[in-house]
Amino acid sequence: MVEIQVSTEKCDACNTCIDTCPVEVYEIKDGKSVPARQGECLACKACEAQCPNGAIQVTE
Ligand code: SF4
Ligand code: SF4
């Protein structure tokens, strides 16, 4: 099982994770990225690598 954590302090809603994720896990809610479809995650960790603010942690 994959767990995704997004730091609301670090996230500035830049949309990079939304553009990066191949299975559309993320959506922006109230100005922050939320892993709304976490169950779809493939644990490729592309979002974690691409987030410019280091706001995402993907753990398996
Ligand atoms: S890439 Fe990082 S800073 Fe940008 S919206 Fe996603 S979590 Fe937020
Ligand atoms: S690890 Fe990959 S599949 Fe999972 S949320 Fe990030 S980009 Fe999407």
The number of domains in the chain is 1
Task: Look at residue 45 in the predicted model and tell me its pLDDT.
Answer: 98
Q: What is the Cα–Cα distance from 30 to 40, expressed in whole angstroms?
A: 22
The atom of ligand 2 lying closest to the CA of 43 is 1
Q: Which domain holds residue 19?
A: 3-59
In angstroms, what is the span from residue 35 Cα to ligand 2's centroid? 9
CATH number, domain containing residue 31: 3.30.70.20
What pLDDT score does 1 carry?
Answer: 86
Query: Average pLDDT by consecutive 10-residue portion of the chain (60 residues)?
Result: 96 98 98 98 98 98
Beta bridge partners, 59, equal 3
Query: What's the DSSP call for residue 19?
Result: H
Which residue is closest in CA terms to ligand 2's atom 8? Answer: 21
CA nearest neighbour of 11 among 52, 59, 58, 45: 52
Rounded CA gap, 23 and 8, in Å?
Answer: 22
Closest C-alpha residue for ligand 2 atom 4: 41
Rounded distance from Cα 30 to ligand 1 centre (Å): 13
